[in-house]
Every structure is written in structure tokens, then in C-alpha cells.
């Protein structure tokens, strides 16, 4: 089980979701992926994508300019 980061800054939805989808396809069950975005829409879209594809959202954080979502590949 490994931890990975994905830089999806300066991309507008749904591109952060597509990047997350493509990166997750390369990972193994139990890996974690931290996705860093600047589009606040990602705060809804990536958890929604996780729910319908069976991945678990471990954490969501919001700073002034970024939203950071950590998911567990399931």
C-alpha cells in the first residue's frame, strides 16, 4: 500500500475528475491518493466520482486557494 499525490491545480472540472479517474486506474486496492485542486467544484465532483465507483474519501480540506481530497482506492 502506497501513497500518491496528484496535482490537478489550474484545471477546471471535470478535468480534475478525469485525472483522478485515470490515476486511480493505475493504483492498487489500498493505495491512497491525495488530489490537489484549485477548482472548488472538485470538492463535490471527486467525492461523487468516488461514491459511484466504490472508492472511499478519507479526507477533504479546503484552504484559501486549494481543495485537497484524499481517497482510498477500494
3/25 with CB nearer another protein: 25
**Does the CA dihedral 29-44-22-16 come out positive or negative?**
negative
6 - beta bridge partners? 35
Question: Which residue among 13, 15, 68, 72 is the active-site one?
Answer: 13
Cis peptide before 14 (omega within 30 of 0): yes
Q: Is 37 a catalytic residue?
A: no
Min dist CB 62 to another protein, Å, is 12
Residues in contact with another protein by CB under 8 A are: 10, 12-15, 17-18, 21, 38-41, 43-45, 48-49, 51-53
Amino acid at each position: 500500500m502506497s501513497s500518491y499525490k496528484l496535482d490537478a491545480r489550474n484545471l477546471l472540472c471535470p478535468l480534475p475528475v478525469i485525472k483522478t479517474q485515470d490515476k486511480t486506474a493505475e493504483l492498487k486496492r489500498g493505495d491512497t491518493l491525495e488530489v490537489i485542486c484549485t477548482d472548488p467544484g472538485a470538492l463535490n465532483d471527486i467525492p461523487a466520482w468516488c461514491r459511484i465507483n466504490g472508492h472511499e474519501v478519507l479526507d477533504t480540506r479546503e484552504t484559501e486557494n486549494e481543495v485537497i481530497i484524499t481517497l482510498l482506492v477500494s
